[in-house]
Amino acid sequence: MTDEPLILGIETSCDETGVGIVRGHTLLADAVASSVDEHARFGGVVPEVASRAHLEAMVPTIERACATAGITPYDVDAVAVTSGPGLAGALLVGVAAAKALAIGLGKPIYGVNHLAAHVAVDQLEHGALPEPCLAMLVSGGHSSLLRVEDVTTGVAPLGSTIDDAAGEAFDKVARLLGLPFPGGPHIDRAAREGHVTIDFPRGLTSRRDLERHRFDFSFSGLKTAVARWVETQQRDGVVIDVGDVAASFQEAVCDVLVRKAIDAATDQGIEDILIGGGVAANSRLRAMATERAGAQGIRVRVPRPGLCTDNGAMVAALGAELVARGRPPSALDLPADSSQPVTEVVV
Ligand code: KG4
Ligand code: ZN
């Protein structure tokens, strides 16, 4: 096996069935089948619906990825799969499929951490990760600041949300503004038509909060503040400018995220911030982070939006790094662990 291993990665932790194929740091295919439309009318992901959709999409998505990459499954050096964290039933489908492939092909299997994969994916776009780097993962399920020395051996959590995840806040605020699920992209778009006119609260930034929660986040107070503001306007018969509310809410989220990421990087003596997860697709977050960090001599790396939201390429990217660095594979009876800790890169 070379240091440019050919890896097939499978992702099914939430509502995207992702199959990615990479050779080392080179992306060959990134096939994604999403069940998001089936969840939209419920305003959130329904686990049973997601599991069923993964089952139906799995084989066609593997076939599509192989056809795009111009390979057959027999060519791969190893199979990587998200083992956790995520929805238990959804993870099970991916892990079962990966086991079947690995056994059928006689190839090793790596059950990998979804969050570490969100970090590793950036290698496909910007090359080897700086070591160390400060990773900020912001998705529908997580908001964390992590110190990453070597993405294959472990990541050290510095802080995380104490209530809602950043993406969850985007989704909930979108809902109360009457925007479709998932709300992040819709708020992003609406905000471009609006202006920052409302000064919404920045959670855990007061001097007292910083003593205990310097690198932690809280978004539930912000969500409530937006809800109260909207209610008050409606009660007074004022027509709400959705663009202005979206822009003001987005500004408050991005301000806290960027402030804390820069503070953590500075505290750790790290000069590179990497942003990953679905919320990293947000245009204001990307611009604000690059501008403010740049002013402090800190570089910012963010994968392109399609690689920020859940996909199989990120799993393959982490698998390739594990193989290239000679890390041992998982046992064939590896579990799907819905609460896999961020410190456990491979099960
Ligand atoms: O990483 P991801 O695809 O799935 C999880 O692991 O959760 O993240 C999905 C989240 C959703 O909450 C979605 O609203 C948010 O990412 N998101 C965005 C944007 N695109 C996706 N949030 C803000 N701005 C965006 N452009
Ligand atoms: Zn994710």
Per-residue pLDDT tens for 185-232? 999 999 999 999 999 999 999 999 999 999 999 999 999 999 999 999
Residues with CB under 6 A from ligand 1: 14, 139-141, 167, 170-171, 182-185, 188, 277-279, 281-282, 309-310
pLDDT at 42: 86
Expressed in angstroms and rounded, the spacing between residue 276 Cα and the centre of ligand 1 is 10
pLDDT-derived band at 1 (thresholds 50, 70, 90) equals low
Specify the residue with its C-alpha closest to ligand 1, atom 23. Answer: 184
Using CA atoms, how far residue 198 sits from 79, 112, 165, in Å, is 49, 42, 22
pLDDT-derived band at 2 (thresholds 50, 70, 90) equals low
Q: 254, 282 in Cβ contact below 8 A?
A: yes
Expressed in angstroms and rounded, the spacing between residue 13 Cα and the centre of ligand 1 is 14
Q: 173, 189 in Cβ contact below 8 A?
A: no
Expressed in angstroms and rounded, the spacing between residue 177 Cα and the centre of ligand 2 is 24
% of the chain beyond a pLDDT of 70: 99
Ligand 2 (ion): residues with CB under 5 Å are: 139, 310
pLDDT mean over 329-339: 97
Nearest-angstrom CA–CA distance, 75 and 141? 34
Which ligand ends up closest to the CA of 314?
A: 2
Mean pLDDT of the chain: 96
Residue of 309, 310, 314, 340 to test ligand 1 pocket, by largest number of atoms within 8 Å of CB: 309
234-278 tens-digit pLDDT: 999 999 999 999 999 999 999 999 999 999 999 999 999 999 999
Expressed in angstroms and rounded, the spacing between residue 168 Cα and the centre of ligand 1 is 8
Expressed in angstroms and rounded, the spacing between residue 101 Cα and the centre of ligand 2 is 23
Using CA atoms, how far residue 319 sits from 50, 114, 182, 217, 268, in Å, is 24, 11, 28, 30, 27
pLDDT-derived band at 283 (thresholds 50, 70, 90) equals very high
Question: Which has the minimum average pLDDT: 40-49, 123-132, 244-253?
Answer: 40-49
Which ligand ends up closest to the CA of 113?
A: 2
pLDDT at 43: 83
Nearest-angstrom CA–CA distance, 216 and 72? 45
Q: Is the pTM of this model over 0.75?
A: yes
pLDDT at 238: 94
Nearest-angstrom CA–CA distance, 143 and 277? 9
